Amino acid sequence: MEPVESLEASLERRFPPPEAYSHLAGDDWPADGPIPADTDAQRRFGQELLGPIFLQFCQRLHMAGVAFADRRARLLFAARGGLRLRLLYELWCERSGTQPVLPLGDILISRVAAAKGCLAADFDHVAPMLVREFGAGSLGYMLRCLLRGRAVDLPDVLAHCPVTVGSFAAIYRGEDALGQAVRDYFAEQAQAMAAYLEGLLAGIDTPVLVDSGWTGGTQALLMRDFPQWDWHGLYFGKWDYGRGPGPHFGHIFGVAVDSLEPYANAPGQALFAYHHLIEDPLEIDAASVESYRLLPDGRGMPEGGDIDPMVLPPGRDDAMFQGIVDHFHSPAGAGDFMAVERRAHEAYRRLRRMILWPRPAELPGMQVRPRSADFGRSLTVPVLLRLPDASLKRRVKSVAAALWKPGQMVVAFPRLHGLVNGSSYLLRRIPFAGRFVDPLLRRGSGLARRVLRRLLR
């Protein structure tokens, strides 16, 4: 007799992730990257370049904390990446002989967990955000991701239902059993998250979130739906993705780099072209917080429980982070204020050239692990793409699809990457021209192919 299919397996089979979620949709890009990672080179890269930058971040984080010293504040390092920032900050305090200005704590939260916890009280604001995240797929897939582990069956028709605010609202406000189950779930999430925050923030007026960044989306939800606390954020970087500052941007600060203050750290702006260099070393081997649960005593807790502190130090696959920690333990880790600033400035200057104008020999040490999507979605994408064939069209499209475009230019055009990169750089600085570059590359425009074909002869 064949084994009975579980409900979770059935949902996964009936509501698969749509290919359109990937920016690689429609092309059979190989799952592995084009260049093997060099762990020795990654560790050197972490020690020589990222180490001074993170050391400066910790020094500046300490100074920024002074602004909140008399406001019943606490630094809350946000899971997951923020937990390693706390490890580095505590290591900096130890190496520099400094005591933290503010009490330290952790907050186990994510954007999807915050969205779930805020939806019931603020549907009209949160629902459009969910639709933006899942808009390329079916309503069934979106509900499967959001209700993971809830054992709520979904009708097959939802596999063909587009994701819109209206279609989601129809399910959420429906009078049938499915609508009731969905409302119950989000009501429970609201209650559990509120209980978690109340326990975590007892005696605190000003929670100060610390994380890698970039837009402070989680903080924006908390500010809107939990106004009894004065939320602030001290992030490695603040980035508006070119959309302009949000209403919460006055409460967040880019400690190391800020897209709205381009002259404050001009070389650091290059990180926005390859921000994965900051995110990847901070990733720990632990599941993201996606939901909360109420304990019998009324306390709220992340569904997966606390994160094991043993995953915070560098692991076997953490060559870059190991290099960063090596720098903190080196004599430079105990340097005075100006020495730390000088080393960071030099590291940013070198890093800018390597990110925007990489050389072939530098790619193995700068590659990070494949990136994964959030909001419960199953999607993993390599930063650099291996070309399954050498056609010119595929080369051009790979540059548009890659997460690190200058690095992909080296992969796609090993002998002409400087020319291709320089042409792209100039085009993007011509007013209004930049908006046409990516669409042309994605289509592999005939003009681009003819020009490159002539150059490749």
Q: What is the 3-state secondary structure (H, E, C) of 171-230?
A: HHCCCCHHHHHHHHHHHHHHHHHHHHHHHHCCCCCEEEEEECCCCCHHHHHHHHHCCCCC
Q: What is the pLDDT of residues 169-195, one digit of tens each?
A: 999 999 999 999 999 999 999 999 999
Lowest mean pLDDT across 148-162, 214-228, 247-261, 418-432 = 418-432
Higher-pLDDT residue of 371 and 98 is: 98
Which band of pLDDT confidence, cut at 50, 70 and 90, is reported for residue 456? very low
Residue range 142-165: average pLDDT? 87
Q: Where are the domains of the chain?
A: 40-111+195-356, 390-456
Q: From the CA atom positions of the chain, what is the Rg in Å?
A: 23
Q: Which stretch of DSSP H or E encloses residue 417?
A: helix 417-428
pLDDT at 335 over 90: no
Lowest mean pLDDT across 251-260, 266-275, 426-435 = 426-435
pLDDT at 307 over 80: yes
Instruction: Please report, for residues 78, 176, 225, 323, the alpha-carbon distance to residue 339 in angstroms, rounded to integers and kept in the order given.
Output: 29, 65, 43, 19
Burial of residue 97, with CB atoms counted within 10 A of its CB: 0-12 exposed, 13-18 middle, 19 or more buried: exposed
Which band of pLDDT confidence, cut at 50, 70 and 90, is reported for residue 455? very low
* Residues 359, 366: Cα–Cα separation, whole Å: 11
Please report the pLDDT score of residue 21 as a whole number. 46
Beta strands in 272-417 (DSSP E): 292-294, 300-302, 371-372, 380-381
**Whole-prediction pTM value?**
0.88
CB 127 within 8 A of CB 368: no
* Residues 336, 332: Cα–Cα separation, whole Å: 9
Q: What is the residue-averaged pLDDT of the chain?
A: 86
3-class SS at 381? strand
pLDDT at 293 over 90: yes
* Residues 73, 101: Cα–Cα separation, whole Å: 10
CB 235 within 8 A of CB 256: no
CB 214 within 8 A of CB 78: no
Residue range 333-362: average pLDDT? 94
Share of the chain above pLDDT 70, in %: 87
Instruction: Please report, for residues 19, 131, 223, 237, 376, the alpha-carbon distance to residue 15 in angstroms, rounded to integers and kept in the order given.
Output: 12, 16, 34, 36, 13
Higher-pLDDT residue of 249 and 82 is: 82
Please report the pLDDT score of residue 444 as a whole number. 53
Please report the pLDDT score of residue 405 as a whole number. 92
Which band of pLDDT confidence, cut at 50, 70 and 90, is reported for residue 390? confident
